[in-house]
Structures are given as C-alpha cells and as structure tokens.
Amino acid sequence: MNQLGHEVDIMKFHQITSNPSLTSIGYALTQSAMEKNHTPVKEEKYEEYTAQSPLHQDVDQASAAWVILHRGIIGRPLSQHLGNLKPSTFLRLDMTLAKLYCGFEQPMLFAELGRALHCEHSYHFFNSIPHLCVITGEFHPLNLTHVITLIAIPNALINNTAKFDSPVRLSSIDQMVTSDESFVYPPLHEWEKDPTCEHPEWYKIEQWMRGERPELPRVWSEYLSKV
C-alpha cells in the first residue's frame, strides 16, 4: 500500500512539474513537498510579507528568528489574503536586498505557520514548518534541516484566536522599546547600526560582481546549508 501511495505521489509530481507555466519557485516547492511527504502548495497560496532575515541582523551570527515587518512585498501586487495570521497559514517572507551588492542575497522563506510559543513586547513568536528557503539572488535552495524556523510577528498582524493574554518581558530579537513602553520598533540591521559595516564575504562578492566568481552564490548557499 505504501508503494502504491509512493507511485501515486510520483505521478502527481510529474503531472505538476510538466506544467510549462511552472516557475522555478513552484518547481522547488513541489520537489520539497515530495521529499518531505506533504501535499504540494501552489506558490500563489502563500501570503506575502516583508521580513528581516535571521542571517542579516548581525554580521557575525544568526539571530533568533525571522521578523515580519509588514504585509506585502515591494514590487509585487498586494496579496488578496486579507485576514490576520494564525496557525496553518502559508507564508512567503521576503527581504529586499536588491540594492546591496547587486542583489547577491535576496532571502525568502516559504513555510507553514505553526503555533504560538511565547510573546514579548508587541511580538508573538511562532514555530513554522519550512517548505523552501533561498538566500542568494541566484536560485540555490538551502537544506531545510538547517533553516531557522522561528518567526516573530507583530501583534497587529495576528488573529486574536492565536494570541496570548500576557507578554513575557523579554527582548530576544533586540526590538527597540521606548522608556514608557508606548512604542516598539523592529530591531535594526547591523548596517543600520553601523553604516561602515560590510558583508563578511564582501571581497568575494565584489569579485562576483565583476564576473570573477560565478560559482559564489552556489558556494555561499552550500555553506549556509551547513551552519
């Protein structure tokens, strides 16, 4: 019976991937669903949000979570999904870095939102099931076993049924809280704190920009899949 089910899944996979209008993202999502044994989700079913990547809040180490900033992605039509977020929602998180190093890195995460784990100043933290993660502008998906799956979501974007009543007084993502706690702002990127900071691989990236290291996006993605 398991063999029969596996053969049916393979047939579905070939049926979906034979569609000539399927994008590279759609193909990768279908392939990931096949490997992880879950039902494929169409690319357009993911609600789109702009977020900070956990790999881009500090140049030396990853932070605790992806941090959602707002609904929608710059340069793309606003999604028709209007409801606030709750478990089982499919999310696409994008971080716009197109102007940095000619778009060498353009992080995005496709995932299914899990349950809320805890809350802090103006944020709830959810686990998630990753479906696809790409960091570089060139399309090289990361190994999902090494992807940070925690997502910090502003309270204003969360469905009331998914909220906790009382926050834990923490600031694990370094969100900025005013002295009277009346306003909370997202954490700053490292380059926002220090305009002179550079990517840890800036020298190699500048070589890539000159066409001298065409393999660098693949190599960088392979490295991030292991850390």
pLDDT tens for residues 5-32? 555 456 665 666 666 677 888 888 988 8
What pLDDT does 1 receive? Answer: 42
pLDDT over 50 at 4, yes or no: no
| Per-residue buried b or exposed e for 133-162, using 16+ beta carbons within 10 Å of the residue's own CB | bbbbbbebbbebeebbbbbbbbbeebeeeb
Lowest mean pLDDT among 25-29, 64-68, 155-159, 187-191: 187-191
Tell me the pLDDT tens digit for each residue of 127-151. Answer: 999 999 998 888 899 989 888 899 9
Average pLDDT on 61-65 reads 66
pLDDT over 60 at 59, yes or no: no
40 or 227, which is more confident: 40
Residue 135, both tokens: 């960091």
pLDDT over 70 at 75, yes or no: yes
Q: How far is CA 39 from the centre of its chain?
A: 20
Record the pTM. Answer: 0.84
DSSP the chain: -HHHHHHHHHHHHHHHHT-TT--HHHHHHHHHHHHHTS----GGGSEEEEEE-GGGS-SSS--S-EEEEEES-TTSPPPS--SPB-TT-EEEEE---TTSGGGSEEEEEEEEEEEEEEEETTEEEEEEEEEEEEEESS--BPPGGGS---EEEEGGGB-GGG--SS--S--TT--EE-TTSS-EEPPPPHHHH-TT---TTHHHHHHHHTTS-TTHHHHHHHHHTT-
